[in-house]
Chain A
Amino acid sequence: MPERNMSPYQTAMPTQPPEQRSHNFDEVALGYTYNMAVAEARRCLNCKNHPCVSACPVGIDIPGFISKVAQEDMEGAFTVLSACTSLPAVCGRVCPQETQCEGVCVRGIKGESVGIGRLERYVADWHRENQSNTQRSVASNGHRVAVIGAGPSGLTCAGDLARLGYQVTVYEALHVAGGVLVYGIPEFRLPKAIVRHEVEGLEALGVKIETDMVIGRTLTVDELFSMGFEAIYIGTGAGLPRFMGIPGENLKGVYSANEYLTRINLMKAYQPGSRTPIQQSFSVAVVGGGNVAMDAARCAKRLGADRVTVVYRRSMAELPARAEEVAHAQEEGIEFRMLSNPVEVLGDEKGWVTGVRCEEMTLGEPDASGRRRPVPKPDGGFTLNIDTLIVAIGTQPNPLLLRTTEGLISDRHGCIVVSDDDGLTSRSHVYAGGDAVTGAATVILAMGAGKRAAQAIHRAITKKQA
């Protein structure tokens, strides 16, 4: 066995310096070197209870792949990883590890946890750079499954079913596969070439991806069944942006975070000479405190905004964004105006945004979510002078599929209702998972739902055969 590394600290992740990276869209975190990865892997105690595995929504064999890295068997590590996840290079970058695997790591009790996410990323990147996506021949079992939505949930479900021998077709409404991984999460956090590579890996497994297909419009769920699919998985996400409902929200220069990020990421407005227009901003306010708000704020900075302010109605302690994203945003010079709530967007006579008027808040008693509820202060308030306002207060499931599919039940938030952990909906042979069921959540939870549904679909089809 290789010697254990008893340093209490995680091997630091090399990053682009803040001054430099706030002017480009290249990846912020540069990834471990070979030696860093091996050294970090040797911090894992391979403890008996491996709490990290139980805390992972997709149950990755974390000690298993890390021990391979410690033994410098990178391809072996990748084999362990890829048996559990279709998107390791993605999860290694965007998972909130601090509240999952790393949050329960035994090494974290006296010191810092093992850098599980960083190691996962290293192994996936090592494989991508050193091995090709080989055609893995899985004998077809002759059963066909359709997946609606090529985001993290749908891709995971498709990958797991393909490994079991199913012929899977994924239908995607946009012109590229990836869902939020390509339209939402920016290049500097998740390079699109990596998403493309992971998708190509699924195609090599035999998964068929059809873009430009809006299910509910181009084809319906019922038509998919009549085309011979035996089960359908709905992973359509939560793509409908929420607005604040305050005066001035339709002024020019007010964007939903979805639109702002889609223009920049999917439509490549960040590249010089792009055909997609985007506001050239001087002073930007981003409303909201999640990862999407951080992404929008950091994009605005990179596009040249002088001043970018995150406006959030609770305090720093309640920010729902990943700790690392908040820290990176602060290093890049993003300002945070906490306990502030916009009440009106101000504009000029030509309809352009000139400012946002906010009220000041204070934290009251905890609400249903367990977080202290923000309450407006009776006096106070301020106006930020801005030329761009980005609304990043959350998204809801897109109602298009529900409106066009009979018998599919949703709750009052527009989320598809499923019977249990398997993701079975009110329609037989129709399963759903990810943000379409939970409302906006994380990539990894969506992947977990896709994985469980794949198992459930496999059980149902096997049972039908027996």
Chain B
Amino acid sequence: MFEILSRQELNPTVVRISVHAPLIARKAEPGQFVILRAGTESERIPLTIADYDRIGGSITLIFQLVGAGTMELGRLQVGERLQDLVGPLGKATETEGLRKVCVVGGGVGSAIAYPIAKKLHMQGTVVHSVVGFRTRDLVILEDDFRAVSDELHLLTDDGSYGEKGLVTNALESLILAGNQYDEVIAIGPLVMMKFVSLTTKKYNVKTIVSMNPIMVDGTGMCGGCRLTVGGETKFACVDGPDFDGHLVDFDEALRRGEMYREFEQHARETACKLFPKEDRQNAGA
């Protein structure tokens, strides 16, 4: 179980793996996540399911090498196994009855936005995709998005590829051009989801965001993933991860996300020393 079946580096910091997990693959829906541990002493890491193959019995995970835990995961090669993998957790993204949707993805969040765009496209929803990256080298899943979108807007912050600008600019233009969306589904960094929500609020377009806060167990036990949504405390792991973007207290979520920043920085530096860069490159080759 949990054997890594394939592995690709989508860009210098983003890795895609598919993992043998027939029970999870059978149930997984876009928007749901798994919790995994790479090794026996590893942290539990929540990752949203990027794709699944019910017949082949595998799920796809796309992750950015940001901390010690994801670096450890990134080192695992085809044929090696994850220590633990549990899921699918959280509620699936609701797609029923949607006729026209704008899917907004930012950075590695695009990897999570993609299966939702795919599901919408397969059910006949008109899909406009707006995906943004910092720069050309970080662009991922362009062809995948193109295949499931009626319209694709790819942007980079620095204009090195696609249109220059932020996803909010492109989204606002689409709305102003008269597109009537039943929903905007935005997945990416918290700051991006905050500004997408502020933009759509002006035009009163319902907006769903996918929250990915710090969590331990992923089943409602620790409460570490709590958020304020419409003045109420919600647990992202069991009440979400999808929430109404117009109700989420993003500023609080941003602050809570920084709780272990110092610890993580230190752990990351230690991990970098443990796994020198050339070693990581060799491993990836």
Chain A contact residues, CB within 8 Å of chain B: 173-175, 183, 211-214, 217-219, 239-241, 243, 245, 249-250, 252-253, 255-256, 258-259, 262-263, 266-268, 274-277, 279, 350-351, 398-400
Contact = CB atoms under 8 A, between A and B. Distances in A.
A253 B260 CA distance: 10
B221 interface: yes
B86 A212 contact: yes
B233 A249 contact: yes
Interface residues of B, number: 39
Contacts of B216: 259, 262-263, 266-267
Contacts of B104: none
Interface of B: 23-24, 27, 37, 41-44, 68-69, 83-89, 216-217, 219-224, 226-228, 233, 238, 252, 255-256, 258-260, 263-264, 267
B86 A241 contact: no
* Interface class of chain B by DSSP: mixed
A252 B260 CA distance: 9
A399 B237 CA distance: 12
Contact of B89 (A217, A250, A252): A217
Contact of B220 (A250, A350, A400): A400
Interface core residue of B84, B219, B226, B264 (most chain A CB under 10 Å):
B219
A279 B220 CA distance: 21
B86 A214 contact: yes
Contact of A217 (B88, B228, B259): B88
Contacts of A262: 216-217, 221-222
A279 B214 CA distance: 14
B84 A175 contact: yes
B267 A173 contact: no
Given A175-B37, A256-B223, A351-B255, 20 more contacts: A175-B44, A175-B86, A183-B217, A212-B85, A213-B86, A214-B87, A250-B228, A252-B259, A255-B223, A258-B221, A262-B222, A266-B216, A267-B43, A267-B44, A275-B68, A277-B263, A350-B255, A351-B256, A398-B220, A400-B238
B83 to A, nearest CB: 7
A259 B235 CA distance: 13
A265 to B, nearest CB: 11
A275 to B, nearest CB: 5
Contact of A243 (B223, B238, B258, B260): B223
Residue of A214, A243, A253 with most chain B CB atoms under a 10 A cut-off: A214
A218 B255 contact: no
19 contacts: A173-B86, A175-B37, A175-B86, A218-B24, A255-B223, A255-B224, A256-B223, A258-B223, A259-B223, A262-B216, A262-B221, A262-B222, A267-B43, A267-B216, A275-B43, A275-B68, A276-B43, A277-B260, A277-B264
Nearest to A275: B43
B255 A398 contact: no
Contacts of A398: 219-221
Contact of A250 (B83, B88, B226): B226
